[in-house]
Amino acid sequence: MPRPPQACGQGYLDYVGHRRVCGWAQDAARPNVPVTIQILDNGRLITKVLANRYRGDLDVPGSGGGRHGFDCLLPVPFTPTERHVIRVLRDHDGVELLGSPWVLDPISELDADLQDAFSRIVQNLRGRKKSEQAIRFLMEQVTALRHQMADQATGRTRKAQERELALRSGARSAGRARTQAGGRILFVDERFPDATRDAGSQAILSHMQAAQALGLDVVFAASGEPEAPQAARDMLEKAKISIWSLPFYASVEEGLRLESHGFTCVYLHRVGIASRYMELVRLYQPKARVIYSVADLHHLRLERQAREMEQPELLPRAARLRLQEGLGALQAHVTLTHSPVEAAVLKQLAPPAQVCTVSWCVPTVRKKPRMAGRQGVLFVGHYAHVPNVDAAFWLVREVMPLVWAQVPDMPCVLVGSMMPPSIQALAGPQVQALGHVQDLAPLYARMRIGVAPLRFGAGLKGKVLESFAAGLPCVMTPTAAEGLTLPDILRPLVAADATGMAQVILALQDDQLATAVAQAGWQFIKDNFSQKAVTGLLKTVFS
């Protein structure tokens, strides 16, 4: 079929979409008479449109006032999964507009047009049978897409291709291809990490960074948050950490099943996660090295709470947790703890278990701290954690009154996430209850002393490490100091009762002593809690 003549200078096809065709057309011999145009799809006439819309760019002398535009919203959109060759001709003489033909290729992604087509199909469904068929079809497509994503993530597609190539080149190389494994590690916790919320988040973020430094691709899943909060999603994506989250995976179980045999390591954080997923990991990731990180020994914390607060009803729960933590250590290839004290407890609890002590990275301020001009006592804690609530009450009611007797204007500042009304009610002339503070750096820079008045608890205490790292001396109880091998200059910071803590706080009002202690704490963190040190310790754990 011969191509129609082109309407040079007398029309142009500006745009063709699946629902819209627009441009302009005129007849130079009759500029004041609107032109009718034909729109053809694959040679078939689908509609005629009068080109009489005003366009300022066409309003020039002798042009007929610029009323030559057309913008046609199609009554039936072009099918997005088919190829369409769109031609636009002047109706009266068959002249084709410049820019025509316009080719619409089949859509290979779910863009707005295809979404619109799906929506219209669903809205027009009538009857239970048709609705059931549509639901079944859509669920099959979702399942297929999830399997496709899982195959891409685990490298199964690539490995199948490599095996095929290897088989063609000889059985020996095929055997080698079958033994190759990708370096992937799955981290599972109860919630998505937030470094400003708790030390557990800081620890798992540090360990994920170490895994990346060791060449592993890192994936994170939160059992209690099927959909990632946007802040956590942005932070992990920036760190190049993949996540399991809706709409891809609705649960950790689904991810483990769909990405079966896809990990070389699986890291289970805290006893609840280990108890829930250990068997599923063994089932779906049978070749993976399973790492159980205790965070802190929950049974030890509950036993101490029962004793300190005279709550014997907690002891049966502590006994159950003791059994779960011991079983988790026995089932895992490696059990991680942050405290050498807890490592010893685990060795007694589960003698065959392989237990490693690994801390986490705690960044320090750049300059050595100086205390001149600083004032105030600072307590930082996550208040969903019972030991921190008790510590705040004990600090304000038992320790600080002894300090205020000597220094009445000494401010006491309470900071932390999920602060309950009972702690907020402690605020007064000498006490500030600030709640969650996103950036603690300005607060650390003006305070004089950090405190960790924990009467019970377990594990390494992030608040102690952060205080030292920020350049503050940290006055602490023996519980808070547990697991730390403190140098001689820092040991006097540990006090067993309210009177002892108050005395240490008062002694640190001396600028020279406070500066010396602060600098020693800062150096202690710098020497022992770097990311390089953490990565070195985890190298054998992840291998």
Identify whether 267 is part of a domain. yes
Which of residues 175, 198, 232 is at a domain's end?
A: 175
Write down the residue that tokens 């500066």 correspond to.
515
Which of residues 357, 388, 417 is at a domain's end?
A: 357
Q: What is the spatial distance between Cα 411 and Cα 402, in angstroms, rounded to a whole number?
A: 13
Neighbouring CB atoms inside 10 A of 75's CB total: 8
**22 Rama sector, left if φ>0, alpha if ψ -120 to 50, beta otherwise:** beta
pLDDT value for 75: 81
pLDDT value for 178: 40
pLDDT value for 333: 97
- Ranges assigned E (strand) in 347-497: 355-357, 377-380, 412-415, 431-435, 449-452, 474-476
Query: Do 286 and 349 belong together in one domain?
Result: yes
Identify whether 114 is part of a domain. no
Estimate the share of the chain in helix, then strand, then coil, as percent rounded to the nearest 5: 45, 20, 35
Q: 272 near 193, Cβ under 8 Å?
A: no
CATH of the domain at 69: 2.60.40
Query: Do 279 and 152 belong together in one domain?
Result: no
Identify whether 120 is part of a domain. no
Query: Do 21 and 67 belong together in one domain?
Result: yes
Query: Do 278 and 191 belong together in one domain?
Result: yes
- CB neighbours of 379 closer than 8 A, spacing ≥ 6? 391, 392, 395, 412, 413, 414, 415, 416, 450, 451, 452, 453, 463
Tokens matching residue 399: 């320790």
Contacts 24+ apart (CB under 8 A), 530-535: 530/361, 531/206, 531/209, 531/210, 531/213, 531/361, 533/359, 534/206, 534/207, 534/210, 534/358, 534/359, 534/360, 534/361, 535/209, 535/210, 535/213, 535/214
Tokens matching residue 372: 């001149």
Which residue range is the domain that position 387 belongs to? 377-529
Neighbouring CB atoms inside 10 A of 510's CB total: 12
- Under DSSP, the state recorded for 396 is I
pLDDT value for 174: 45
For the chain, 543 residues long, the average pLDDT of each consecutive 10-residue run is 54 92 92 93 93 90 86 86 92 92 84 74 82 84 82 74 62 44 86 91 97 96 94 95 92 94 96 96 96 95 94 96 96 97 95 96 93 95 94 98 97 96 96 94 95 95 95 97 96 97 97 96 96 95 90
pLDDT value for 481: 97
Query: Do 191 and 330 belong together in one domain?
Result: yes
Nearest CA to 504 among 466, 455, 451, 460?
451
Query: Do 193 and 171 belong together in one domain?
Result: no
Query: Do 209 and 352 belong together in one domain?
Result: yes
Nearest CA to 253 among 232, 275, 284?
284
Q: 514 near 527, Cβ under 8 Å?
A: no
pLDDT value for 198: 86
Identify whether 4 is part of a domain. no
- Alpha helices of 217-370 — where are they, by DSSP H? 230-238, 252-258, 271-284, 298-308, 315-331, 340-349
Query: Do 387 and 515 belong together in one domain?
Result: yes
Tokens matching residue 243: 């996540």
Buried b (16+ CB within 10 A) or exposed e, 426-437: beeebbebeeee
Cα of 301 vs its chain's centroid, Å:
28
pLDDT value for 375: 94
Identify whether 113 is part of a domain. no
Q: Which residues pair with 452 in a beta bridge?
A: 476
Query: Do 240 and 147 belong together in one domain?
Result: no
CATH of the domain at 297: 3.40.50.2000
Q: What three-state secondary structure class fits 190?
A: coil
Tokens matching residue 40: 């053809």
- Under DSSP, the state recorded for 59 is -
C-alpha to C-alpha distances, 128 to 120, 133, 135, 139, 142, nearest whole angstrom: 17, 9, 10, 16, 21
Q: What is the spatial distance between Cα 238 and Cα 218, in angstroms, rounded to a whole number?
A: 13
- CB neighbours of 291 closer than 8 A, spacing ≥ 6? 265, 266, 267, 268, 332, 333, 334, 335, 336, 541, 542
Buried b (16+ CB within 10 A) or exposed e, 89-113: bbbeeebbbeebbbebeeeeeeeeb
Identify whether 428 is part of a domain. yes
- Give the chain's length: 543
- Under DSSP, the state recorded for 123 is H
Q: 190 near 295, Cβ under 8 Å?
A: no
Which uninterrupted H or E stretch holds 521? helix 511-528
Neighbouring CB atoms inside 10 A of 267's CB total: 29
Query: Do 417 and 523 belong together in one domain?
Result: yes
Neighbouring CB atoms inside 10 A of 226's CB total: 16
Query: Do 491 and 522 belong together in one domain?
Result: yes
Query: Can you give the pTM of this predicted structure?
Result: 0.74
Identify whether 467 is part of a domain. yes
- Alpha helices of 453-497 — where are they, by DSSP H? 462-469, 478-481
Q: How many domains does the chain have?
A: 4
C-alpha to C-alpha distances, 93 to 30, 35, 36, 202, nearest whole angstrom: 13, 10, 10, 74
Query: Do 171 and 190 belong together in one domain?
Result: no
Identify whether 369 is part of a domain. no
